[in-house]
């Protein structure tokens, strides 16, 4: 099937969706996640409707595109919300810019680009006369990055298929995803060596900027930790990354807190608990890897330092074991968000089918993998993550200058069309 004629309109549609800042914002009447997310979902469904598909909007929480009919159902689960843009971009984060073979913009790879590619893959199948043996539901949520209220709302008002995949992770095919837990720790620090401390934008983004106020500060000691002392302000710069792979970033909170740890043992205790693994959390591991903990958002308020950490725990480890280690830290905490792991049969029909599709289009033998990231696939009884990131070709997801290579878009159109055809035949 020749998909070349779908490439240009697909790129154009991705750029249009990137134009919406769909990061979570204050709710408005009929817009639970803000005007940007609602506008993005409305535009996506409008494009699908223009292709001749039936569409449904579930209160701007989520929407679906329907292809075919029948009781047998297949889900393709995507999301249109994004993490905040952050700073330091060399291309506008909400413009959709194609330059040097790359499509830049927040959401290009995570997950507006893949959502649109899957839509055009369905269009190509429809135009080619393919009739699915049942109903394919392309579901687009608007709260994946901040709690999954979109999926919970969808499950209350529609039927979520048991089987499907999410194009929001890595290739070749993901059979397991770690559990996800966001915990907000409270460290009492009356008379702290600062009057304000803040950093981070979202729990699932490695903190790339942090600062403290209340100086003057020791310039020589600041230089030791790579900090900038500017009058009464002390600033740290790091590198953002997805919190599921904190080792790929540089957390700005660590040098900032380490500076104050030299003069305040209470701050040193914070560093030991959250950055030096005092409770042995990373000793929890299985075939999906060790537990990771990324302290990503901090705020000093009313004599207490609040730090929100992103925790990814191994798929076969019980949540209770994780909580027991957190309790052992001896710091009060509140669980803000929790998702159970995904662990599918790596030799089952779904994973095997997606593996065949990947090998067919890349010519590369592969084995199913496990990741620390979390996708909508875990909302399904039988789900798997499937792309868009190819092995050895990292994408700057949750980072500045996020992009998706144009050549990948061309390949992904063919891969996702084949995947739907394989699973819905």
**Residue 308 scores a pLDDT above 90:** yes
Return the CA Rg of the chain: 22
What is the pLDDT confidence band of residue 58, given thresholds at 50, 70 and 90? very high
- % of the chain residues with pLDDT over 70: 100
Cβ neighbour number for residue 325 with a 10 Å cutoff: 20
The predicted-structure confidence for 62-99, as pLDDT tens digits, reads as follows 999 999 999 999 999 999 999 999 889 999 999 999 99
Note the pTM of the prediction, 2 decimals.
0.80
The predicted-structure confidence for 226-281, as pLDDT tens digits, reads as follows 999 988 999 999 999 989 999 999 999 999 999 999 999 999 999 999 999 999 99
User: Mean per-residue pLDDT for 111-125?
Assistant: 98
Is-same-fold flag (4-176+344-423; 179-339)? no
CA distances, 57 to each of 5, 42, 73, 78, 102 (Å): 28, 8, 18, 14, 31
Q: Is 378 within 8 Å of 179 (Cβ atoms)?
A: no
- Helix, strand, coil content of the chain in percent (nearest 5): 30, 30, 40
Buried-exposed string 347-369: b where 16+ CB fall within 10 A, e elsewhere: eeebbebbbebbeeeeeeeeebb
User: Mean per-residue pLDDT for 27-36?
Assistant: 98
CA distances, 124 to each of 52, 54, 92, 167, 323 (Å): 12, 16, 31, 17, 47
Q: Which residues pair with 305 in a beta bridge?
A: 187, 300
Six-digit token pair at 207? 């903190």
- Length reported for the chain: 425
Report the chain's mean pLDDT, rounded to a whole number. Answer: 96
What is the pLDDT confidence band of residue 282, given thresholds at 50, 70 and 90? very high
pLDDT score of 377: 94
- The dihedral over CA atoms of 127, 128, 134, 139, expressed in degrees to the nearest 10, equals -50
More confident residue, 344 or 136: 136
What is the pLDDT confidence band of residue 373, given thresholds at 50, 70 and 90? confident
Instruction: Measure the CA–CA gap between 143 and 173, rounded to whole angstroms.
Output: 24
Active site residue 81: yes
User: What residue segments make up the domains of the chain, in order of their start?
Assistant: 4-176+344-423, 179-339
Q: Which of 21, 64, 111, 144 is catalytic?
A: 144
Active site residue 144: yes
User: Mean per-residue pLDDT for 50-58?
Assistant: 98
pLDDT score of 283: 94
State the Cα angle at 63 between 78 and 204, rounded to 5°. Answer: 40
Chosen CATH of 4-176+344-423 out of 1.10.3720.10, 3.40.50.2300, 3.90.1640.10, 3.40.630.10: 3.40.630.10
Q: Which residues contact 55 (CB under 8 A, 6 or more apart)?
A: 45, 48, 49, 63, 64, 65, 66
The predicted-structure confidence for 235-244, as pLDDT tens digits, reads as follows 999 999 989 9
User: Mean per-residue pLDDT for 92-113?
Assistant: 97
Q: Looking at residue 232, what DSSP letter applies?
A: T
Domain 179-339 fold: Alpha-Beta Plaits (3.30.70)
Look at residue 158 and give its three-state secondary structure.
Answer: coil
Q: Which of 81, 296, 310, 402 is catalytic?
A: 81
Q: Is 15 within 8 Å of 105 (Cβ atoms)?
A: yes
Instruction: Measure the CA–CA gap between 283 and 292, rounded to whole angstroms.
Output: 10
| Among 102-106, 213-217, 397-401, the range of highest mean pLDDT | 102-106
What is the pLDDT confidence band of residue 146, given thresholds at 50, 70 and 90? confident
């Amino acid at each position: 099937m020749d998909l070349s004629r779908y490439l240009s309109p697909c790129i154009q549609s991705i750029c249009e969706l990137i134009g919406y800042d769909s990061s979570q914002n204050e709710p408005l009447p009929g817009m639970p996640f803000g005007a940007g997310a609602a506008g993005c979902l409305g535009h996506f469904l409008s494009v699908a409707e223009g292709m001749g598909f039936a569409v449904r909007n579930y209160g701007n929480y989520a929407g679906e595109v329907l292809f075919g009919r029948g009781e047998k159902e297949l889900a393709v689960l995507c999301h249109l919300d994004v993490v905040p843009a952050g700073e330091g971009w060399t291309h506008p984060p909400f413009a959709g810019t194609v330059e040097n073979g790359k499509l830049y913009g927040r959401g290009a790879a995570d997950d507006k680009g893949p959502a649109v590619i899957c839509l055009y893959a369905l269009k190509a199948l429809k135009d080619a006369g393919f009739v699915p043996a049942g109903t394919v539901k392309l579901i687009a949520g608007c709260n994946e990055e901040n709690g999954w209220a979109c999926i919970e709302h969808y499950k209350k008002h529609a039927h979520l298929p048991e089987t499907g995949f999410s194009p929001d992770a890595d290739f070749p095919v993901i059979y397991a995803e770690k559990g996800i837990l966001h915990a907000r720790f409270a460290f009492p620090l009356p008379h702290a060596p600062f009057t304000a401390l803040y950093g981070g934008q979202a729990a699932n983004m490695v903190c790339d900027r942090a600062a403290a106020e209340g100086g003057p500060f020791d310039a020589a000691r600041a230089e030791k930790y790579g900090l900038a002392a500017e009058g009464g302000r002390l600033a740290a710069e790091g590198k953002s990354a997805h919190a599921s792979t904190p080792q790929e970033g540089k957390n700005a909170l660590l040098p900032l807190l380490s500076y104050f740890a030299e003069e305040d043992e209470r701050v040193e205790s914070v560093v030991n608990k959250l950055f030096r693994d005092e409770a042995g959390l990373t000793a929890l591991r299985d075939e999906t890897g060790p537990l990771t903990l990324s302290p990503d958002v901090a705020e000093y308020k009313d004599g207490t330092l609040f730090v929100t950490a992103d925790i990814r725990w191994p798929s076969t480890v019980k949540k209770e074991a994780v909580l027991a280690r957190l309790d052992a830290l001896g710091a009060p905490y509140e669980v803000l968000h929790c998702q159970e792991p995904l662990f599918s049969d790596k030799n089952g029909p779904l994973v095997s089918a997606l593996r065949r599709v990947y090998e067919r289009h890349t010519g590369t033998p592969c084995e199913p993998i496990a990741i620390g990231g979390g996708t909508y696939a875990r909302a399904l009884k039988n789900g798997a993550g499937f792309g868009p990131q190819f092995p050895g070709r990292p994408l700057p997801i949750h980072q500045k200058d996020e992009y998706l290579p144009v050549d990948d878009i061309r390949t992904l159109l063919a891969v996702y069309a084949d995947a739907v055809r394989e699973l819905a035949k």
